Amino acid sequence: MNYSARATPMDQTVIEPGFFGLDEGDSDWSNAHANFLSSLLPAETRDLLACSQCLDLKSRDQLFRAGDSSDSVYVVADGCIRLFQVASNGRETILWFNFPGEIFGIAELVSGNDRQIYAVANEPSRVYSIRQRDFASFLGAHPEAAMKAIGILSARVRALGQMLVGLASDSVEARIAKLLMRLAAISSGNKCAAASGADEMCVNLRLTHQDIANMVGSSRQTVTSTLASLRNSGAIRTVSQHFHITQPDRLRCLLNGYVA
Amino acid sequence: MNYSARATPMDQTVIEPGFFGLDEGDSDWSNAHANFLSSLLPAETRDLLACSQCLDLKSRDQLFRAGDSSDSVYVVADGCIRLFQVASNGRETILWFNFPGEIFGIAELVSGNDRQIYAVANEPSRVYSIRQRDFASFLGAHPEAAMKAIGILSARVRALGQMLVGLASDSVEARIAKLLMRLAAISSGNKCAAASGADEMCVNLRLTHQDIANMVGSSRQTVTSTLASLRNSGAIRTVSQHFHITQPDRLRCLLNGYVA
DNA sequence: ATAAAATTGTCATCCAGATGACATCTCTGA
DNA sequence: TCAGAGATGTCATCTGGATGACAATTTTAT
């Protein structure tokens, strides 16, 4: 009864069904996008922000770009920051959206490497910028905060792993379905008023089809038509500039591989 | 001169050429695979291993699987542990190889979630297993070790980000080229004797074509033929069970998008 | 308010790579 | 040492999506 690591799809009967899909670690996503700021004690928050600088960004303002030397860590106060990378062929891949309270730019903290990615305001935003050395000594002085940071990074490792698996093995439709569910999960805090159905979920974020393509690793046209078919099937609808998932179950089927 | 975040490939002239590719953060890879154990002070190592349990694994033995409740963190003493995930359609995706000194299973440390991935010995291996609570208090007692952990997790976040970008935008050939270069970089410590050329690199790891396909998100057949063409072009050669990169430059061209 | 710029929708076309099917070749374990 | 399992090579075939090209909208700046 030795499970073979090199098993080909045929042998995978060992895997209990229904194990993945739906909430393939929903909690990971919330942890990965955890509100670092509000998880701190008031005194800690005070200490941290004391040595911070506040930056206001217009939509599309660039905070840093690949190749910049990195000297700061950031915390989102308000708005949304998009992290992405540009491949050698010019293709953009969106890696992450940072919502209020989230911390980012830590990856360069210890290694002291240059920035590897681009950070751009996805909408008018405000961020606190904290010098690396200040942040490092803050962590040193507050072990619980350091543990919190470890927790967040861990969740991100898991989340990125899931994204990787999806990219490597799902169809475009499934990848889009997953993406919408995830985005809905993390932006569920600020549910917009227009929700009608009981289990209707809101993806509270403005995204162009190109953005989605860049997250999902496909082309704009494919996104357009996939979205159209999801809309026709009644799974999602468009509410002033953003999506609502009207029938989450429909999407869940997709990402479980049922053709339904 | 405002850089547009939503730029389409055409506009990407802003990106200075030659910026990516080659050593898209070589140091990230070594950091991500950092030897946690040997980076500790002797006293710390003693403390840590004092509360550890040593496990011997035969090739293909399973350390844990998705769904298991997680109560331990592991450090590789010897051998190599493969971390992978199985998608709902049965496809396997290899996420990581853990080499001696590397720590893994930390992602579940803080969140206390169940395991999300599979860990299997890629060859006869020996690992230290440390209970989560012990490890957590170890980190609490040794702030520098905690910072080290943050550094490793950060590097992994960056490394996973790179993998993601590659998967989303490179051709299979480029993905394989990148993979080989990365594996060579991290297994370069134990360069095998058979190296001939000055800049010949050794991928010191036994991999089947299926394994490579599982890392690169493609099919076994495609890997077989891509590898064959790389071999014909003289870029790589096969030395008793593993690869050597005879002409690293050839691979670098590929991953920079030059058709050469 | 209006022109310019971005975003969406919809095709018809093309191709990288997946699939399935075999024929070797090479290990591994009894 | 030998059989069975696993790994490689090599096809011929098929298809999910990428690409390029426009027209129709919607947004954004002036």
Could you please report the per-residue DSSP string of B204-217?
-S---HHHHHHHHT
φ and ψ at B42, to 5 degrees?
-50, -45
Task: Say yes or no: A200 contacts chain B, CB-CB below 8 A.
Answer: no
Task: Say yes or no: A67 contacts chain B, CB-CB below 8 A.
Answer: yes
Q: What is the identity of the amino acid at B20?
A: F
Q: How far apart are CA A125 and CA B72, in angstroms?
A: 40
Q: For A110-138, what is each residue's pLDDT tens digit?
A: 777 889 999 999 989 999 999 999 999 99
Question: Residue B186 is inside which H or E element, if any?
Answer: helix B172-186
Other C-beta atoms lying within 10 Å of the C-beta of residue A189: 13
Task: Say yes or no: A169 contacts chain B, CB-CB below 8 A.
Answer: yes
B183-190 mean pLDDT: 77
pLDDT for res B17: 34
| Cβ <8 Å between B162 and A87 | no
B5-22 mean pLDDT: 35
| Cβ <8 Å between A256 and B170 | no
Q: What single string gives the DSSP state of each residue in A209-233?
A: HHHHHHHHTS-HHHHHHHHHHHHHT
Please name the member of B15, B88, B118 whose beta carbon is closest to the beta carbon of A256.
B88
- Kindly report the bases of strand C lying within 7 A of a protein C-beta atom: 6-12, 16-21
Average pLDDT of chain B is 84
Distance from CA of B90 to the nearest CA of A (A): 5
Residue A103 pLDDT exceeds 90 = yes
**Residue B59: which residues within 8 A CB-CB, separation 6 or more?**
B121, B122, B123, B124
pLDDT for res A148: 93
Which A residues between 212 and 231 have a beta carbon under 7 A from any strand C atom?
220-221, 224-225, 227-228
Q: What single string gives the DSSP state of each residue in B224-238?
A: HHHHHHHHHTTSEEE
Reported as a pLDDT band with limits 50, 70 and 90, residue A194 is low
Q: How far apart are CA A32 and CA A153, in angstroms?
A: 7
Other C-beta atoms lying within 10 Å of the C-beta of residue A159: 23
Residue A256 pLDDT exceeds 80 = no
CA of residue A12 to C1' of nucleotide C11, angstroms: 40
By residue count, chain A amounts to: 260
CA of residue A210 to C1' of nucleotide C7, angstroms: 9
Reported as a pLDDT band with limits 50, 70 and 90, residue A81 is very high
Task: Say yes or no: A211 contacts chain B, CB-CB below 8 A.
Answer: yes
Give the closest residue to A224 by CA, choosing from A237, A238, A208: A208
Chain A residues lying within 8 Å of B88, measured CB to CB: 20-21, 255-257
**Residue B174: which residues within 8 A CB-CB, separation 6 or more?**
B166, B254, B255, B257
CA of residue A129 to C1' of nucleotide C18, angstroms: 47
- Kindly report the bases of strand D lying within 7 A of a protein C-beta atom: 6-12, 16-21, 27
Exposure b/e, B245-254, CB count within 10 A at least 16 = b: bbbbebbbbb
| Cβ <8 Å between A154 and B65 | no
Closest amino acid to nucleotide C16 (CA–C1')? B171
Average pLDDT of chain A is 85
| Cβ <8 Å between B67 and A19 | yes
pLDDT for res B110: 76
A93-112 mean pLDDT: 90
Task: Say yes or no: B124 contacts chain A, CB-CB below 8 A.
Answer: no
pLDDT for res A159: 94
CA of residue B221 to C1' of nucleotide D11, angstroms: 11
Q: Furthest-apart CA pair in chain A: how many Å?
A: 59
B69, β-bridge pairs: B114
Cα angle, residue A146 at apex, residues A101 and A99 outer, rounded to 5°:
15
| Cβ <8 Å between A167 and B167 | yes
Task: Say yes or no: A79 contacts chain B, CB-CB below 8 A.
Answer: no
| Cβ <8 Å between A19 and B208 | no
| 3-state secondary structure at position B85 | strand
CA of residue A212 to C1' of nucleotide D16, angstroms: 18
Please name the member of A12, A113, A156 whose beta carbon is closest to the beta carbon of B157.
A156
pLDDT for res A193: 63
Q: For B137-160, what is each residue's pLDDT tens digit?
A: 999 999 999 999 999 999 999 999
pLDDT for res A77: 94
Name the more confident of B198 and A133.
A133
Task: Say yes or no: A16 contacts chain B, CB-CB below 8 A.
Answer: yes
Reported as a pLDDT band with limits 50, 70 and 90, residue B220 is very high
Q: For A166-185, what is each residue's pLDDT tens digit?
A: 999 999 999 999 999 999 98
Task: Say yes or no: B82 contacts chain A, CB-CB below 8 A.
Answer: yes
Contact B254, B233 (CB under 8 A): no
pLDDT for res A102: 95
